[in-house]
Amino acid sequence: MWIVQSYSLAICRPLRQARQALHQAREALTTCQVPHRCREEAQRAHAEVEACEAEVERWESVHSAYRHHLETVSLLVHPWRLCTSTPQTSQEVESRLHAEIDAITA
């Protein structure tokens, strides 16, 4: 449980901040596109939007990978192998669980 909470906070907070920064950058770009603004200012605002979009994309990818690992963990701890309907030993579950935890940590 502590893994889910700690990693979720470590991923969701930066994702939320990146989305907020992107929203602000897009607003700034919109105001820069008013005819009386200088072209350099608009170019800087456009570059900022692109950088924020890349950051949001990166954190969304991290979040997606994290969710995939959580799903895998939930399937691993089932007493039966779901694909073959055969029982799992506690050693098998433990081994696979440690591998998934290492993947989440990475």
* Enclosing H/E stretch for 81: strand 80-81
Domain boundaries, position 59: 2-105
Residue 19 carries which side chain, given as an amino acid letter?
R
Q: Does the pLDDT at position 74 exceed 70?
A: yes
What pTM was computed for the model? 0.69
CA 94 to CA 30: how far, in whole Å? 53
pLDDT tier, 72 (very low <50, low <70, confident <90, very high otherwise):
confident
Grade residue 102 by pLDDT with cuts at 50, 70 and 90: confident
Considering the chain, what is the average pLDDT of its residues? Answer: 84
Question: Rounded to whole angstroms, what are the CA distances from 100 to 17, 18, 25, 57, 88?
Answer: 27, 27, 37, 23, 16
At 34 the pLDDT is: 67
pLDDT higher than 70, residue 2: no
User: Structural domain tally of the chain?
Assistant: 1
Mean pLDDT across 17-41 = 85
